[in-house]
């Protein structure tokens, strides 16, 4: 093997080692950045009733012909999660298994109700396809207007007394669970926690 070829091979291995070290460094920085970012909560809007306000009380029929109370004190002592959905909302469909999972894991303290606009068709088929026949499903334009629901998917969390404990646009399990976590922490949103505890992010970054 000539000296020139040997030099080329060594140079190539040297470059490969440098690239590997650079990739490791980048991966480490990405990991640090990820740890520094707090969990993203539901996006709260500035319109409508605020967290801490008493919800309007509604007595609404479900698509099954039953009656459900929303906004009134819950006799069971549970909180109520109102999931605003629509048959023509693809993200809403992706969230259905998450809603069902949360309803199962939080069943001792949480009721889940699905709500939509009665002007939109296809609810029966949509409900069956999503596998949520066991949940109350109400159709009410007025309910959405009372919370100023402008975009979907949207969720509102009411405490056992009908007071708004959290609300906002939700696109993932993390968003939905942030409403429950903010209620446990007695805060308006999960972002409020990190604003009140700025050292928490740094602690997470050093962990």
pLDDT tens digit sequence for 85-122:
999 999 999 999 999 999 999 999 999 999 999 888 89
At 13, is the pLDDT very low, low, confident or very high (cuts 50, 70, 90)?
A: confident
3-class secondary structure, 50 = coil
Beta bridge partners of 111: 80
User: How far is residue 110's CA from residue 115's CA, in Å, rounded to a whole number?
Assistant: 16
Percent of the chain at pLDDT > 90 equals 60
Region 183-207: mean pLDDT is 56
The pLDDT score that the predictor gives to residue 14 is 78
Task: Calculate mean pLDDT across residues 14-31.
Answer: 74
Q: Which of 135, 131, 101 is nearest to 115 (CA)?
A: 135
Query: Which pairing describes strands 79-84 and 137-139: parallel, antiparallel, or unpaired?
Result: unpaired
SS3 state of residue 41? coil
Q: Which residues are paired to 68 by β-bridges?
A: 60
pLDDT above 70: residue 31: no
Rounded to an integer, what distance in angstroms lies between the CA atom of residue 103 and that of residue 178?
15
- Torsion of the alpha carbons at 175, 180, 183 and 187, rounded to the nearest 10: -20
Predicted TM-score of the model (pTM): 0.73
Burial classification of residue 72, based on how many CB atoms lie within 10 Å of its CB (0-12 exposed, 13-18 middle, 19 or more buried): middle
For residue 183, pLDDT beyond 60: yes
**Average pLDDT along the chain:** 83
Specify the pLDDT at position 186.
Answer: 79
């Amino acid at each position: 093997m000539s000296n020139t070829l040997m030099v080329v091979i060594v140079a190539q291995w040297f470059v490969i080692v440098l690239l590997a070290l650079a990739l490791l460094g980048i991966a480490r920085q990405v990991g640090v950045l990820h740890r520094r970012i707090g969990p993203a909560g539901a996006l709260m809007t500035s319109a409508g009733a605020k967290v801490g306000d008493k919800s309007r009380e509604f007595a609404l029929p479900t698509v099954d012909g039953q009656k459900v109370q929303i906004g009134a004190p819950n006799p069971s002592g549970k909180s109520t999660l109102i999931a605003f959905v629509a048959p023509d909302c693809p993200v809403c469909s992706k969230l259905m298994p998450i809603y069902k999972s949360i309803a199962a894991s939080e069943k001792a303290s949480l009721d889940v109700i699905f709500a939509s606009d009665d002007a939109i068709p296809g609810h029966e088929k949509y409900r069956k396809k999503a596998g949520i026949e066991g949940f109350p499903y109400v159709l009410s334009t007025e309910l959405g207007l009372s919370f100023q629901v402008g975009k979907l998917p949207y969720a509102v969390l009411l405490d056992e007394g009908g007071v708004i404990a959290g609300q906002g646009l939700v696109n993932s399990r993390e968003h939905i669970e942030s409403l429950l976590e903010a209620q446990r922490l007695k805060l308006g949103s999960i972002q409020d926690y990190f604003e009140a505890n700025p050292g928490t992010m740094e602690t997470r970054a050093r962990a």
